[in-house]
Amino acid sequence: MDCIFCKIVAGEIPSTTVYEDELVYAFRDINPMAPTHILVIPKEHLGSVNDITPYNSAVVAHIFEVIPQIAAAENLTGGYRVVSNCGQDAGQTVHHLHFHILGGKELSLQMA
Ligand code: DGP
Protein backbone atom coordinates (compact mmCIF):
# COMPACT_ATOMS: atom_id res chain seq x y z
CA MET A 1 0.00 0.00 0.00
CA ASP A 2 1.28 3.42 -0.93
CA CYS A 3 0.88 5.11 2.45
CA ILE A 4 3.58 7.45 3.74
CA PHE A 5 2.74 6.78 7.38
CA CYS A 6 2.96 2.99 6.81
CA LYS A 7 6.38 3.68 5.27
CA ILE A 8 7.34 5.74 8.33
CA VAL A 9 6.27 2.88 10.63
CA ALA A 10 8.33 0.48 8.49
CA GLY A 11 11.37 2.79 8.70
CA GLU A 12 11.38 3.32 4.92
CA ILE A 13 10.87 7.07 5.40
CA PRO A 14 12.88 8.68 8.22
CA SER A 15 11.09 10.34 11.11
CA THR A 16 11.88 11.64 14.57
CA THR A 17 10.54 9.08 17.01
CA VAL A 18 8.83 10.38 20.13
CA TYR A 19 7.23 7.14 21.36
CA GLU A 20 6.84 3.59 20.11
CA ASP A 21 5.30 0.36 21.31
CA GLU A 22 3.86 -2.71 19.60
CA LEU A 23 0.66 -0.92 18.56
CA VAL A 24 1.48 2.76 18.28
CA TYR A 25 4.09 5.07 16.79
CA ALA A 26 4.52 8.78 17.55
CA PHE A 27 6.80 11.16 15.70
CA ARG A 28 7.34 14.86 15.12
CA ASP A 29 5.26 16.53 12.41
CA ILE A 30 7.35 17.61 9.41
CA ASN A 31 5.46 20.92 9.27
CA PRO A 32 4.98 21.97 12.89
CA MET A 33 2.03 24.27 13.63
CA ALA A 34 3.04 24.75 17.28
CA PRO A 35 6.31 24.52 19.26
CA THR A 36 5.36 20.91 20.04
CA HIS A 37 3.58 19.11 17.20
CA ILE A 38 3.53 15.33 17.36
CA LEU A 39 1.56 12.78 15.34
CA VAL A 40 0.36 9.60 17.04
CA ILE A 41 -0.67 6.78 14.74
CA PRO A 42 -1.68 3.13 14.94
CA LYS A 43 0.92 0.89 13.32
CA GLU A 44 -1.96 -0.93 11.67
CA HIS A 45 -3.29 0.99 8.66
CA LEU A 46 -6.65 2.64 9.31
CA GLY A 47 -7.65 5.39 6.90
CA SER A 48 -9.28 7.85 9.26
CA VAL A 49 -11.69 8.16 12.19
CA ASN A 50 -14.31 6.80 9.78
CA ASP A 51 -12.54 3.42 9.81
CA ILE A 52 -12.76 2.93 13.59
CA THR A 53 -15.00 -0.04 14.42
CA PRO A 54 -15.70 -2.23 17.47
CA TYR A 55 -13.11 -4.66 16.04
CA ASN A 56 -10.20 -2.20 15.98
CA SER A 57 -11.10 0.51 18.50
CA ALA A 58 -8.83 -0.93 21.21
CA VAL A 59 -5.87 0.65 19.46
CA VAL A 60 -7.60 4.04 19.59
CA ALA A 61 -8.18 3.63 23.32
CA HIS A 62 -4.51 2.75 23.64
CA ILE A 63 -3.52 5.86 21.67
CA PHE A 64 -5.49 7.95 24.16
CA GLU A 65 -3.69 6.25 27.04
CA VAL A 66 -0.35 7.04 25.41
CA ILE A 67 -1.11 10.68 24.58
CA PRO A 68 -0.97 11.92 28.21
CA GLN A 69 2.32 10.07 28.68
CA ILE A 70 3.76 11.83 25.64
CA ALA A 71 2.40 15.17 26.82
CA ALA A 72 4.03 14.69 30.22
CA ALA A 73 7.34 13.65 28.64
CA GLU A 74 7.19 16.75 26.43
CA ASN A 75 6.47 18.96 29.47
CA LEU A 76 3.16 20.20 28.08
CA THR A 77 2.18 21.22 31.59
CA GLY A 78 0.07 24.15 30.40
CA GLY A 79 -2.15 21.90 28.31
CA TYR A 80 -2.36 20.75 24.75
CA ARG A 81 -4.79 20.00 21.94
CA VAL A 82 -5.52 16.65 20.26
CA VAL A 83 -6.88 16.85 16.71
CA SER A 84 -7.78 14.29 14.06
CA ASN A 85 -8.73 15.61 10.65
CA CYS A 86 -11.20 13.29 8.94
CA GLY A 87 -11.86 13.71 5.25
CA GLN A 88 -11.67 16.45 2.68
CA ASP A 89 -13.59 19.21 4.47
CA ALA A 90 -11.32 18.83 7.50
CA GLY A 91 -8.22 19.03 5.32
CA GLN A 92 -7.00 15.47 5.91
CA THR A 93 -3.95 15.06 3.68
CA VAL A 94 -2.55 11.73 4.88
CA HIS A 95 -5.05 8.89 4.78
CA HIS A 96 -3.66 6.92 7.71
CA LEU A 97 -5.44 7.63 10.99
CA HIS A 98 -3.43 10.10 13.05
CA PHE A 99 -3.89 12.29 16.07
CA HIS A 100 -2.05 15.61 16.22
CA ILE A 101 -0.76 16.69 19.64
CA LEU A 102 -0.29 20.45 19.60
CA GLY A 103 1.16 22.44 22.45
CA GLY A 104 3.98 24.49 23.84
CA LYS A 105 2.15 27.80 23.47
CA GLU A 106 -1.29 29.26 24.12
CA LEU A 107 -3.27 27.91 21.18
CA SER A 108 -5.84 29.85 19.19
CA LEU A 109 -9.42 28.97 20.08
CA GLN A 110 -10.44 29.05 16.43
CA MET A 111 -12.15 25.74 15.61
CA ALA A 112 -13.25 26.27 11.99
P1 DGP B 1 -3.54 16.04 8.18
O2 DGP B 1 -3.79 17.35 7.52
O3 DGP B 1 -4.33 15.92 9.46
O4 DGP B 1 -3.73 14.86 7.26
O5 DGP B 1 -2.02 16.09 8.61
C6 DGP B 1 -0.99 15.33 8.08
C7 DGP B 1 0.26 15.80 8.75
O8 DGP B 1 1.30 14.91 8.38
C9 DGP B 1 0.72 17.19 8.36
O10 DGP B 1 0.69 18.03 9.51
C11 DGP B 1 2.14 17.02 7.86
C12 DGP B 1 2.50 15.63 8.31
N13 DGP B 1 3.36 14.90 7.39
C14 DGP B 1 3.10 14.63 6.09
N15 DGP B 1 4.11 13.92 5.55
C16 DGP B 1 5.02 13.72 6.55
C17 DGP B 1 6.26 13.06 6.61
O18 DGP B 1 6.77 12.47 5.64
N19 DGP B 1 6.92 13.08 7.81
C20 DGP B 1 6.39 13.71 8.91
N21 DGP B 1 7.12 13.69 10.04
N22 DGP B 1 5.21 14.34 8.89
C23 DGP B 1 4.52 14.36 7.72
Q: What is the mean pLDDT of the chain?
A: 97
Q: What does the radius of gyration of the chain's CA atoms come to, in whole angstroms?
A: 14
* Residues near 1 by beta carbon (within 8 Å), at least 6 away in sequence: 45
Helix, strand, coil percent values for the chain (each to nearest 5): 25, 20, 50
Is residue 45's pLDDT more than 90? yes
Q: Residues lining ligand 1, CB < 6 A? A: 4, 13, 15, 27-31, 39, 85, 91-94
Question: pLDDT per residue over 19-44, tens digit each?
Answer: 999 999 999 999 999 999 999 999 99
* 98 part of the active site: yes
pLDDT band at 86 (very low <50, low <70, confident <90, very high): very high
Q: Ligand 1 mean position to 94 CA, how many Å?
A: 6
- Mean pLDDT over residues 63-77, rounded? 98
Return the ligand 1 atom nearest residue 92 CA.
4
| Integer Cα distance of 34 and 101 in angstroms | 9
Whether the model clears a pTM of 0.85, i.e. scores above it, the answer is yes
Specify the ligand 1 atom closest to the Cα of 85: 3
Mean pLDDT for 3-9 is 98
